[in-house]
Amino acid sequence: MTHGSEDGERGEEWPPYGPWVWTAYRAHNELLREKLKKRFDAQEGPWLDQVADVLVEIVNARWEGGRKKGKELERLYGKLGELLEE
């Protein structure tokens, strides 16, 4: 098993610290993801809540079925379209 040569060239496998570097990159990306989520929530949270509410209503209406289903879905899709155009 080769970990690299003395002149810094990579051998057949990553150096022994490779997994630690990969872990650091993953942690960095996770932190960035959390910060982005907080920013989106602060700026878009109320709107996203409305979109989520309509999507839940659409799923529930599709499960209910019957004659009411068509008109209710049409109304909900219209409501969703209005929200997405904001």
Q: Which two tokens stand for residue 17?
A: 């610290």
Residue 8: the pLDDT is: 52
Domain boundaries, the chain: 18-85
Q: What is the pLDDT of residue 5?
A: 47
In the predicted model, what is the mean pLDDT of residues 62-68? 69
Q: Which helix (H) or strand (E) holds 43?
A: helix 18-64
- CA separation for the pair 83, 85 (Å, rounded): 5
CB 77 within 8 A of CB 58: yes
- Cβ neighbours around 18 below 10 Å, total: 13
pLDDT of residue 67: 60
Across the chain, mean pLDDT equals 82
pLDDT in tens, 28-39: 999 999 999 999
